[in-house]
Amino acid sequence: MKVLVGIPTLDMVDPTFFLHTTAFCCRLVKDGLDVLVHTPNRAAIDRARQMCVEMAIACEADRLIFIDDDTLMPLGAFDPLEAMLQRSEKVISASGVSFQRGFPYMPMIYRFKDFDWDNIKMNDIPNQIIPPFPKEPFQVSANGMGISMLKVSLLKEIEGDCFGRESTGTEDFYFYRKVHDAGFEAWADSSLVGVHLGDRIQITPDNAGTYRQMETSTYASQLAKEDEQKFIGSEHSNWDDGEARGWTKHCPNESGGRSKVSHIEMQHKEPDYGSRIERKLQESEAIAK
């Protein structure tokens, strides 16, 4: 079997990535695979991925493995990925699981209700599948492609470029929408964990929750500032999600006129930003089930 390892690269790649990925490729060779490596450099990510697809087709490769230059592929990932591709003739993509390398450190794996791509929001957090993950491989609507393997024979059947961008959507959502429209499937295996190399930290399922909690307070502060600006510019002093306080504001009085009310006189409940974030996570869990 011929395999093309596609690695879109930018500058300042962590040396850990090169050491780890070399070991991964060497293992493929040791297992008897014909391995080629393609590293498009300093190209937009959608273009870099499309270049890898075109190279895989030109080289008559059977599989295209994507490894992002900030992600460590599990060394033994090939066999589990291949097993998912062999589940049926419709499976075009197999992937492990990796988490975002920045706040809120959520898993980059998505499953829409009934796998319906219509009437969805690209960045709607409830579409994300969050732990606990299924123990067995499971079908997904989309996933981050940092540790994924594609069936080249089916890539040839995708109309037009496999990768591109539409509006605010990322190149992987662009690809998986085309996968859906072509009648193909994407699968993931949560036992394959990719380490996302962040700034000074490495994000894994074991520590993602800790970092999420650490930065929630920072995120809440940002929300508070946004709400403060909304309140200062509003026509009313009361609104559903609570309001910040500590300034002077002209507010409606009981007689229908307007009176100047200081922050000492204003008694408003503090907004619960932690609960707002928690509600989003609960919505995610409900959809994942």
At residue 209, the pLDDT reads 83
Element (H, E) at 224: helix 208-232
Q: Is the preceding omega at residue 131 within 30 degrees of 0, hence cis?
A: no
pTM of the model: 0.71
Residue intervals of the chain classified under CATH 3.90.550.40 are: 2-204
Residues ≥6 apart with Cβ < 8 Å to 166: 174
Long-range CB contacts (< 8 A, 24+ apart) of 79-88? 80/137, 80/189, 80/191, 80/192, 81/148, 81/149, 81/189, 81/192, 82/149, 83/137, 84/137, 84/187, 84/188, 84/189, 85/149, 85/151, 85/187, 87/137, 87/187, 88/185
**109 Cβ contact partners less than 8 Å away, ≥ 6 residues apart:** 95, 97, 128, 129, 140, 142, 143, 144, 188
Q: Which residue in 246, 234, 236 sits closest to 270, CA to CA?
A: 246
Q: What is the DSSP letter of 239?
A: -
Q: Which residues pair with 138 in a beta bridge?
A: 188
The per-residue pLDDT for 222 is: 65
Does domain 2-204 match CATH 3.90.550.40? yes
Q: Closest Cα partner for 93 from 165, 27, 158?
A: 158
Residue 91's nearest CA partner among 133, 159, 140 is 140
User: What pLDDT is recorded for position 256?
Assistant: 43
* pLDDT at residue number 198: 76
State residue 30's pLDDT score: 96
**Token digits for 130?**
């969050």
Tell me how far CA of residue 138 lies from CA of 88, 126, 188, 191, in angstroms: 13, 17, 6, 11
Identify the segments of the chain with pLDDT beneath 70: 119-126, 167-168, 200, 217-289
Query: What digits encode the pLDDT tens for the residues 50-60?
Result: 999 999 999 99
